[in-house]
Amino acid sequence: MRWLTLYLRSRRVPIALTASAGCTVVMWSLWSAFSNARDAGVPMVILTVLLLVAAVTATLAGPDDSLERTAALSWPARRAAHLLAALAVVVVLLLATLVTGARFGPAGLVLRDAAGLLGLTALGAVTIGASRSWFLPLGWTLASLVFSVSGMTSSEILTWQAQAPSNKTAAITAALLAAGGLIAYATAGPAQRAPAEAAL
Amino acid sequence: MSRILRIELRRSAALGAVLILLLAGAVLLYAAPQRWSSGWMSLAMIQREYLVLLWPLALAVGAWQARREHRSNVGELFASTARPRVQRMVPTLGAMGIAVVCAYLAVAAAAAPWIIDTAGYFPATVFVVAAVGALALVAAAWLGLAVGRLVPSLVTAPALAVAGIGLLMVIPVAVRRREWLALVFSPMYGMGQYTDYQTVYGRVSAAQAIWLAALAVAAAALLASGSWRTRLAALLPAILGAGLAIMIIPRNDEFLANPVDPVAQEQVCAEGSPRVCVSRVHSGLLPEAAPLARQALALLAKLPNPPTTVHEDTTTYYPDTSPPRQADVVLMPITVDKNGHLARKAEIVPTMLKAAGANTNGCGEIPSTSVSRAAEYWLIGREPVTEYAHEPAEDNAEAVKLWQGLQRLPEKEAAARVAAVRRAALACEDVDGLLTRSAR
């Protein structure tokens, strides 16, 4: 328990949790205030997922990863658990809105996008570092949100975030990204950074 | 100062910003080249429309850059130097501004080779539209810098981008029927292409430029200010700019959605006779269009008093305009394909010969399909075929019957009847029965 507390604190999880909850509340209030529909629009849901994933991104690296690696602990299992917990936070926060007056759903879309984007972020954390890992998820999601097309397999893969929840191609793409991110992050961990950038 | 700016350009996020914005912009443009292949104005406007993605990205780039001091743990060190904050911020502002302007121009440059051979018309408005687009990116990057410095968190940049795209998507809905208001505050609104002759009014561009410049100044002031009092004062230019822009923009009766540039619609003629003219915006396609137009005129020459000139059909639906109906002019539809060349070449001559080449735009009622088609195929010299996938089958059957009737007649009488159809269609009169009864 002591280890967990210290770990969560070193990864700035309390701030990230506050930020995610804050983002959810803001998006939820915006939809409640400005729309009469009970179900939030799909772009709104996708943007909220993207925000929450960006909010938990900050926890993917600690203040000194090189030091962390020297500890005689089985990091792969812990890193995988960290990612899965992050996914749970994002999904639970949004699923909690399903019982309120402004529903951010459907659950399938939330789960697919959260898993895929988190996997993409984890891949970014492994390759270009946690502080830059939101670049690709952000750019890709915004682009696919504005120019989503369905019908062709290639365009469905390219705009998987904005496809209907029942779309198989998008689901497979998200699953591949999620699995790839999970495996890469669990085995390799966050990218090594220059000492000057050590404090995120 | 210029030395520091050079260092800043190399050591800041400037280079990365150029690459990201260039990649995003070029991919969007080349994903659908048919949207902008018709000319320089289309390219400038579609590039403005794609600010829907580039504008939020520029916000994120600014916010990311503003976190540099926080990231490197030098905030305290820099605060202890005896220099004004402004002096430290100007090179950063300059580097980010140069970067996003270069990126915007580079996207245009990446698209230019695609249409450089076929696009003929280059109005000065193109520069104005592009300049407002570049200014929008500068304002976004500087606003990102200011917000990123106020809230130096890792989430600021993505959250700002999400807020930016959310704003651009919400503005058109939020203004309801006051479209002019959306035109002031959204740099991408109203830039979709309904026709190839579309333009942006100078007053609209002026209002947008005032608002964006004011926003950029406010953001720069916000970035350079150290106390809450000066930060509050930094809002002043933004408020003033918004007020001024709202005063300048045309609205209510003066406002026109998707305005048409009359100069772009003017007819430009090919050398030689018979006269073949296309609109100025399509003048690069004249060598491709002229042979087809002359082929249609040659087929029409079977008629007594045949038309002698071809003009481009410059009909637009938003707003609703059509060229005048003239007896000696046949209209030619011109559409541009994704490579900038004449599209659907095989359909052009048959379309020109519909209703024996009469211009029925703006008549209210379109002439009967079967009569119009029978006349068209008598001129071409083969049996009528179905042209639209969803048309009623009896339309073509009727056209074939009328066509067979014309074939059985002596050449002169058939020509007189087809000419009667042409006259009636030009006068917006009913053409039914004109092919079956004697022309005299």
User: Which tens digit of pLDDT belongs to each residue from A178-198?
Assistant: 999 999 999 998 987 665 555
On the 0-12 / 13-18 / 19+ scale of CB atoms within 10 A, A166 is: exposed
Inter-residue contact A89 to A49 (CB < 8 Å): no
Which of A31, A90, A138 best probes binding to B when mutated, by most B CB atoms within 10 angstroms?
Answer: A138
- Closest-CA residue of A relative to B31 is A147
Q: What is the C-alpha to C-alpha distance for residues B440 and B427, in angstroms, rounded to an integer? A: 18
- Give A-chain residues touching B53 at CB under 8 angstroms: 142-143, 146
Identify which has the larger pLDDT, B187 or B366: B187
pLDDT at residue number B367: 77
Pick from B361, B360, B359, B406: which is nearest to B382 by CA? Answer: B406
The yes-or-no verdict on residue B319 having pLDDT over 80 is no
CB neighbour burial string for B103-136, b if at least 16 within 10 angstroms, e if fewer:
bbebbbebbeebbeebbbbebebbebbbebbbbb
Q: What span, in angstroms and rounded, lies between the C-alpha atoms of A26 and A173?
A: 29
Q: CB A54 to CB B159 under 8 A?
A: yes
Rounded Cα gap, residues B398 and A106, in angstroms:
53
In this model, does residue B70 exceed pLDDT 90? Answer: no
How confident is the prediction for chain A on average, in pLDDT?
91
B383: pLDDT confidence band, cut at 50, 70 and 90? confident
What residues of A are in contact with residue B191 (Cβ under 8 Å)? none
Using DSSP bridges, classify how beta strands B267-269 and B309-312 pair: parallel, antiparallel or unpaired: unpaired
What mean pLDDT is reported for chain B? 90
Angle CA B415–B419–B422, to nearest 5: 145
A191-195, B316-320, B359-363 — which is least confidently predicted?
A191-195
- Angle CA B305–B309–B312, to nearest 5: 135
pLDDT over 90 at B316, yes or no: no
- For residue A146, the model assigns a pLDDT of 86
pLDDT at A96: 93
Q: Tell me the pLDDT tens digit for each residue of A7-57.
A: 999 999 999 999 999 999 999 999 999 888 888 899 999 999 999 999 999
Q: Which residue has the higher pLDDT, B171 or B435?
A: B171
Whether B188 and B52 have beta carbons less than 8 Å apart is answered as yes
Selection from B243, B246, B279, B244 nearest residue B260 by Cα? B279
pTM of the model: 0.92
Is B154's CB within 8 Å of A196's CB? no
pLDDT band with cut points at 50, 70 and 90 for residue B439: low
A11-20, A30-39, B126-135, B390-399: the lowest-pLDDT one: B390-399
Band (B75; pLDDT cuts 50, 70, 90): confident
Q: Taking the CA atoms of chain B, what radius of gyration do you get in angstroms?
A: 29
| Residue range B84-108: mean pLDDT, rounded | 94
Q: Which helix (H) or strand (E) is A43 found in, with range?
A: helix A42-57
What's the rounded Cα separation, in Å, for the pair B235 and B40?
36
Q: Helix H segments across B225-325?
A: 228-248, 262-265, 286-300
Is residue B220 a contact partner of residue B285, using CB atoms and an 8 Å limit?
A: no
Q: Is B20 on the interface with A (CB under 8 A)?
A: yes
Q: Residue B135's pLDDT is what?
A: 97
Nearest to B234 by CA among B209, B217, B212: B217
User: CB–CB of B57 and A142 under 8 A?
Assistant: yes
pLDDT > 60? residue B432: yes
CB contacts < 8 A (A, B): 64
- A138 contact residues in B (CB cutoff 8 A): 57, 60, 157-158, 161-162
Q: Scanning every residue of chain A, which has its alpha carbon at the shortest distance from the alpha carbon of B164?
A: A142
Across the interface, of A51, A147, A196, the residue whose CB is closest to B162 is: A51
Asked if A19's CB is within 8 angstroms of B153's CB, the reply is: yes
Residues 6+ apart with CB under 8 A from B201: B250, B256, B259
Phi-psi region of A129 (alpha: psi -120 to 50; beta: other; left: phi over 0): left
Strand B267-269: give its sheet, edge to edge. B267-269, B275-279, B309-312, B329-332
pLDDT tops 70 at residue A200: no
State yes or no: pLDDT of B379 exceeds 60.
yes
Residue type, B116: I
Model confidence over B162-216: pLDDT tens digits? 999 999 999 988 888 888 899 999 999 989 888 899 999 999 999 999 999 999 9
Closest-CA distance of chain A to residue B5, Å: 22
The minimal CB distance from B158 to the residues A43, A134, A197 is found for A134
State how far residue B202 is from chain A, nearest Cα, in angstroms: 28
Q: How far apart, in Å, are the Cα atoms of B351 and each of B124, B195, B276?
A: 34, 19, 16
